[in-house]
Amino acid sequence: MMTKPMKFTGLLFLLTFTGLVAGTSTAFSENLSALLTGEMQNFAPNETPRPFKDFTFLNAAGKEEKISEYQGKVLLVNFWATWCGPCKKEMPSLDRLQGELGGEDFEVLAIGQDLQGMEKVKSFFEKRKIRNLAALNDKTVKSGRNAGVFGLPASILLNAEGEEVGRLIGPAEWDSPEAKALIAHIMNRS
């Protein structure tokens, strides 16, 4: 049977040990931390890349796609909605980023969370002259919930292995030099 002093000593040891573990970081997160300036100062990197749950969404043709189908590319998965003010402000930078870096090794997946469906997303893209991003939507919003997203906009950076590198909640200028440096760093590591 543990006495109060033994429990206190055990708790103190546990808290100290946990603090030491939490205070350590890996070379992975240290390398990323040096890149988190300017537009990327709110990006929250993981200590190490971690598994990311697969989920489905619809493309412009109404066909179901999965995040896992994009494995092999570094992905910036952005959750947004047409009614979200900060999302509207952020979308042109995501479009420019896709136009500049999108290809075999990188892609922006801007997945709408509009309950009114794909037509709302297509109309939004047309009105705002979004030309480089594919129209994607999940009117069930299960994709965002599966990804642990509870506010919009939210962007999650995945490495080519499909693991989550980190995330940024809120808007950012994704075509800024800081954002492109962060993405290039992950592309070079994949």
Share of the chain above pLDDT 90, in %: 81
What's the distance, Cα to Cα, between the start and end of the chain in Å?
Answer: 51
In this prediction, residue 190 carries a pLDDT of: 74
**pLDDT value, residue 18:** 32
pLDDT band (50, 70, 90) for residue 3: low
Average pLDDT over residues 37-49: 95
Q: Please write the tens of the pLDDT for every residue from 85-102.
A: 999 999 999 999 999 999
The mean pLDDT of the chain is 88
What distance in Å separates the CA atoms of residue 78 and residue 113, rounded to the nearest whole number? 10
CATH 3.40.50.720 assigned to 27-189:
no
Q: What is the pLDDT of residue 29?
A: 65
d(CA 185, CA 172): 18
For 110-146, how does the pLDDT look when each residue is reduced to its tens digit (9 = 90+)? 999 999 999 999 999 999 999 999 999 999 999 999 9
pLDDT at position 94, please? Answer: 98
Q: Using CA atoms, how far apart are residues 81 and 17, in angstroms rounded to an integer?
A: 42
Is the pLDDT assigned to residue 170 strictly greater than 60?
Answer: yes
Does 184 score more than 50 pLDDT?
A: yes
What DSSP assignment string belongs to 8-63? HHHHHHHHHHHHHHHH---HHHHHHHTT--GGGTT-EEEEEEE-----EEEETTS-
In the predicted model, what is the mean pLDDT of residues 40-50? 96
B/e letters for 170-186, b = 16+ CB within 10 Å, e = fewer, are ebbbbbbebbbebbebb
What φ, ψ does residue 140 adopt, rounded to 5°?
-80, -15
Structure tokens at 17: 């040990």
